[in-house]
Amino acid sequence: MQASVVIQPFFDEATHTITYLVSDPETRQAAVIDPVLDYDPRSGKVSTGSADRVLAAAHEGGLQIIWILETHAHADHLSAAPYVQRHTRAPVAMGEHITQVQAIFRDVFNLNDVSGDGREFDHLFRDGETFALGGLTVEVLHTPGHTPACVSYRIGDAVFVGDTLFMPDYGTARADFPGGDAAVLYRSIQRLLALAPTTRLFMCHDYLAPGRDVRAWESTVAEQRARNIHVHVGVSEAQFVALRRRRDATLAAPTLLLPSIQVNIRAGRLPAAEDNGVSYLKIPLKLPA
């Protein structure tokens, strides 16, 4: 029987994102899941305070970071994966269907430097693939719907679900981004909710549901099945799709959508600097005909 994984969460207030430092207590080997690069959209300033907190915790705990894991190409924050990699030399990994996301947004932003085959990442996981984290075994679950490339990472009784689910009182992720699909999201959620009732589920975000003033990011399969406001037991696929589409139609684009996608499909790397030494992001303009 493998030892229990040690889980250290780091909440980023600006983007409501939870980064996880997960480790094997016996070997002290660790992985970072969904690291955040601090970005001020008003000034274009990038900083590394959020990632530095994770690296400091790893140093203090005597942990060796051997994996940097992304659950998907985030639309709400820039990834700090390259920065963490510079300090650890750990590979950056993503689900293999990132190629579909690259294909979509390479055209949207006219990005000639994006491969479309995922080579920006050091490793692309297949559904069901397993790998070692010290003495622990990590299983990769393809859980698309929010994006085509979403994966969840299962370590023993803990699953890091990315944006597939939120806390039960907040519901589920939107499915209206290019390549998203509410019906596919429903099926991915059912795959997660078919796990043992005591399985712990760790969210990538918490936006504080109305009536709750304490941040939370850990739930269980049993809690989600009983109380998730969008997808509790008894909600059919058709009902969920109708609900999700109604809700998505009311949602504004995430504040950091445009910069995040351009950076994250490059595995967190900023665009190459131009001849003046400055990197630039693109803003597509939608003009009337």
Q: Is 3's pLDDT higher than 80?
A: no
CA-CA distance, 286 to 289, in Å (whole number)?
9
- Among 244, 72, 93, CA closest to 151: 72
What average pLDDT score do residues 251-256 get? 93
Which pLDDT does position 229 carry in this prediction?
A: 98
Q: Which two tokens stand for residue 41?
A: 């959209």
* Residue with tokens 């000639």, as numbered in its chain: 112
Domains of the chain (ranges; CATH) run 6-207+221-255 (3.60.15.10)
For the chain, what percent of residues have pLDDT higher than 90? 97
Residue 64 has pLDDT above 90, yes or no: yes
- Report the run of H or E that residue 64 belongs to, with start and end: strand 64-69
Question: Coil, strand or helix: which one is 261?
Answer: helix
Mean pLDDT for the chain?
96
**What is the structure's pLDDT at 219?**
98
pLDDT tens track for 185-243: 999 999 999 999 999 999 999 999 999 999 999 999 999 999 999 999 999 999 999 99
Q: Whole-angstrom Cα distance, residue 288 to residue 270?
A: 30
The alpha carbon of residue 214 and the mean position of all alpha carbons in its chain are separated, in whole angstroms, by 22
DSSP 90-123: PPEEEETTHHHHHHHHHHHHT-TT--SSSTTSSE
* Dihedral sign (CA 144, 146, 152, 157): negative
Assign 33 to helix, strand or coil.
Answer: strand
User: Token pair 């003046």 is at which residue?
Assistant: 276
Interhelix angle 237-248/182-193, nearest 10 degrees: 120
CA–CA dist 142, 229 (Å, integer): 23
Cβ atoms of 240 and 165 within 8 Å: the answer is no
Yes or no: say if 100 and 148 are a contact pair by the CB < 8 Å rule. Answer: yes
Single out the residue of 180, 135, 168 nearest to residue 4, CA to CA. Answer: 135
Q: Quick one: average pLDDT of 117-133?
A: 98
Q: pTM for the complete prediction?
A: 0.96
pLDDT at 2 over 60: no
pLDDT in tens, 6-49: 999 999 999 999 999 999 999 999 999 999 999 999 999 999 99
Q: Which residues pair with 18 in a beta bridge?
A: 11
3-state SS record for 18-30: EEEEEECCCCCEE
pLDDT score recorded for residue 287: 82
Taking the mean position of all CA atoms in its chain, how far away is CA 85? 17
Structure-derived torsion over alpha carbons of residues 204, 225, 209, 164, reported in degrees to the nearest 10: 30
Contact 26, 18 (CB under 8 A): no
pLDDT value at position 169? 97
How do residues 164-199 score in pLDDT, each as one tens digit? 999 999 999 999 999 999 999 999 999 999 999 999
